[in-house]
Amino acid sequence: MRRYGKHTDEDDIRSRPGRRNTRPRTNIRPKHEDAAEGMVLTVDRGRLTCLVEGRVVMAMKARELGRKAAVVGDRVALVGDMSGKKDTLARIVRIEERTSVLRRTADDDDPYERVVVANADQLAIVTALADPEPRPRLIDRCLVAAFDGGLEPLLVMTKSDLAPPDKLLELYGALDIPYVVTSREELENGGAADRVLEQLDGRVTAFVGHSGVGKTTLVNALVPEEQRRSTGHVNAVTGRGRHTTTSALALPLSGRVADGWVIDTPGVRSFGLAHVDPSRVIHAFPDLAQGTEGCPRACSHDEPDCALDDWVAEGHADQARLYSLRRLLASRERTEGD
Ligand SMILES: Nc1nc2c(ncn2[C@@H]2O[C@H](COP(=O)(O)OP(=O)(O)OP(=O)(O)O)[C@@H](O)[C@H]2O)c(=O)[nH]1
Ligand SMILES: [Mg+2]
Ligand SMILES: [Zn+2]
């Protein structure tokens, strides 16, 4: 499976959504030889908006897909009317294998998991420095979901005009995650967009975070004017956003400054992690993963016999990294309140 990571060249990204599928077919998939390849841009009550060969095409799931659901970012095979004309509807006959999946459980008691976005390379975890207040637990949980789903995390701290980023930067320093800090002024003078675009070039990036942190405001600063969506105010009394964005939407970067896609998503109250396997999180810490070889079976990595304490004491890895890993693993067990 090809991955559209940062090492891919530009042509790949440009040609991706509109290209006909020219991969050789095996006789396992004899049906729909002439299906076109598309990318799901948004989903609304069973109607999927897809980009097919440069055209926006409305589609629905073919019956043969059964219970499998296509989500934003999915690469799909379509048949039927692909003219993109009003009132036409194509059929999605296949969902291609995914390179990554961002999953969340609605909350930890509800093991029903949903795939939020498919095939994203990067997860931009958006946090306002104030209004609403940063919630490190949610950031931790989004990090775990990123590591679990195969997405590279990016921290985006907005509203630095209201509060400084120092405390958060200290908390996440040991994780060595790329970050950008943006302010109202820089949104207006284009500085914010420039710095964020540098991190997005050549990649598919999903933006997640609480309602009102400024996800849509930021995405709007990155895409051409005609693609902009509504933003909402944060309630001055409760400090909460208004859940202005109600569906995930993939938007292409113009290609002038950067190539790739941004996916705006609705604000979340919590990010349930009931589905997460801790060993996948540890893989995101190669400096510590090796040290777990000496751990007892089914070690929680936060118990007296855990080998990671010695691993760090022997100088193989940093104490702060171990602390961060333990904090992330523990975030799976706590319930994230509103
Ligand atoms: N002071 C300040 N306000 C900002 C900044 N960025 C965004 N805002 C404001 O924050 C409010 C919420 O912005 P949105 O972009 O709608 O937030 P969102 O994260 O998309 O919210 P949902 O769609 O509800 O999840 C708006 O009033 C924005 O003008 C910033 O850098 N500084
Ligand atoms: Mg929004
Ligand atoms: Zn251990």
| pLDDT tens digits for range 59-89 | 999 998 988 899 999 999 999 999 989 999 9
pLDDT band at 34 (very low <50, low <70, confident <90, very high): confident
Q: Which atom of ligand 1 is nearest to the CA of 213?
A: 19
Query: CB of 211 closer than 6 A to ligand 1?
Result: yes
Q: 216 CB less than 6 Å from ligand 1?
A: yes
Q: Which of 9-13, 157-161, 330-334 has maximum average pLDDT?
A: 157-161
- Assess whether 45 and 135 both reside in one domain: no
Q: Are strands 90-95 and 179-181 parallel, antiparallel or unpaired?
A: unpaired
Other Cβ atoms less than 10 A from the Cβ of 54: the count is: 9
Q: With a cut of 50, say whether residue 3 has pLDDT above it.
A: no
> Domain check: are 258 and 285 in the same one?
no
The verdict on residue 13 lying in a domain is no
Alpha-carbon torsion angle 321, 181, 210, 271, nearest 10: -20
Phi, psi of 37 (to 5 degrees): -95, 135
Ligand nearest, relative to CA of residue 235: 1
> Per-residue confidence at 273, pLDDT binned at 50, 70, 90?
confident
Asked whether residue 27 is assigned to any structural domain, the reply reads: no
191 and 243 in a single domain? The answer is yes
Please provide residue 224's backbone torsions phi and psi, each rounded to the nearest 5 degrees: -60, 155
pLDDT band at 226 (very low <50, low <70, confident <90, very high): confident
pLDDT for 146: 94
Check if 235 has its Cβ closer than 6 Å to any atom of ligand 1.
no
Counting atoms of ligand 1 from 1, which one is nearest the CA of 182? 31
Mean pLDDT computed over 267-275: 84
**Higher model confidence: residue 106 or residue 44?**
44
Lowest mean pLDDT among 2-16, 27-41, 186-200, 306-320: 2-16
Q: Give the pLDDT of residue 15.
A: 41
Give the model's pLDDT for residue 156: 98
E strands within the chain? 36-44, 47-52, 55-61, 75-80, 90-95, 101-107, 110-118, 122-128, 152-158, 179-181, 203-208, 249-252, 260-264
Q: Taking Cα atoms as reference points, which of 121, 154, 150 lies closest to residue 8?
A: 121
Same domain, 105 and 226: yes
Q: 247 CB less than 6 Å from ligand 1? A: no
For the chain, what is the mean pLDDT? 87
Confidence band (pLDDT; 50, 70, 90) for 6? Answer: very low
Phi, psi of 116 (to 5 degrees): -85, -45
Residues 205 and 233 reside in one and the same domain: yes
Q: Is the pLDDT of residue 27 over 70?
A: no
Please report whether residue 161 resides in a domain: yes
Encode burial over 215-238: b for 16+ CB neighbours within 10 A, e otherwise.
Answer: bbbbbbbbbeeeeebebeebeeee
- Give me ligand 3 centre to Cα 316, in Å: 15
CATH of the domain at 48: 2.40.50.140
Asked which of 95, 116, 132 is the last residue of a domain, the reply is 95
Structure confidence at residue 14 (pLDDT): 40
Query: Is residue 1 a part of any domain in this protein?
Result: no
pLDDT of residue 127: 97
∠ at Cα 92 (57, 13), nearest 5°?
A: 65
* Residues of the domain holding 312: 278-333
Q: Which ligand is nearest to the CA of 231?
A: 1
- Whole-number pLDDT of residue 79: 95
Contact 289, 313 (CB under 8 A): no
Pairing of strands 260-264, 203-208: parallel
CA 220 – ligand 1 centroid, Å: 11
Last residue of a domain, one of 95, 110, 140: 95
Same domain as 259, residue 303: no
Q: Could you tell me if 290 and 252 lie in one domain?
A: no
Residue 75 sits at the vertex; the CA angle it makes with 216 and 220, to the nearest 5 degrees, is: 15
Listed residues 264, 286, 318: the one ending a domain: 264
Q: Whose CA is nearest to atom 23 of ligand 1?
A: 245
Q: 242 CB less than 6 Å from ligand 1?
A: yes
Q: Which pLDDT value is given to residue 8? A: 37
- Out of 217, 262, 264, mutate this one to test ligand 1's pocket (max ligand atoms within 8 Å of CB): namely 217
The answer to whether residue 243 sits within a structural domain is: yes
Q: 138 near 171, Cβ under 8 Å? A: no
| Model pTM score | 0.87
Q: How confident is the model at residue 17 (pLDDT cuts 50, 70, 90)?
A: very low
Assess if residue 213 is contained within a domain: yes
- List CB contacts of 275: < 8 A, sequence separation 6 or more: 103, 105, 111, 113, 148
Residue type, 165: P
Q: Is the CB of 301 under 6 A from ligand 1?
A: no
In a domain, 14, yes or no: no
Give the percent of the chain with pLDDT over 70: 87
CATH code of the domain containing 222: 3.40.50.300
* Binding site membership of 181 for ligand 1 (Cβ less than 6 Å): no
- Split at pLDDT 50, 70, 90, the class of 2 is very low
The answer to the question of residue 4 being in a domain is no
Pocket lining: 188 vs ligand 1, CB cutoff 6 Å: no
Q: Does residue 130 share a domain with residue 217?
A: yes
Distance (Å) from CA 307 to ligand 3 centroid? 5
Residue closest by Cα to atom 13 of ligand 1: 214
Q: Residue 18's pLDDT band (boundaries 50, 70, 90)?
A: very low
User: Given a cut of 60, is residue 7 above it in pLDDT?
Assistant: no
Same domain, 107 and 253: yes
Give the 3-state secondary structure of 78-114: EEECCCCCCCCCEEEEEECCCCCEEEEEEECCEEEEE
- Our mutation pick for probing the ligand 1 site, out of 125, 208, 231, counting the most ligand atoms within 8 A of Cβ, is 231
Q: Is the pLDDT of residue 22 over 90?
A: no
Number of domains in the chain: 3
Q: Do 85 and 106 sit in the same domain of this protein?
A: no
232 Cβ closer than 6 Å to some ligand 1 atom: yes
275-287 average pLDDT score: 87
Task: State the average pLDDT over residues 121-141.
Answer: 95
Among 68, 66, 54, which residue's Cα sits nearest to residue 15?
54
Same domain, 87 and 125: no
- 131 and 50 belong to one structural domain: no
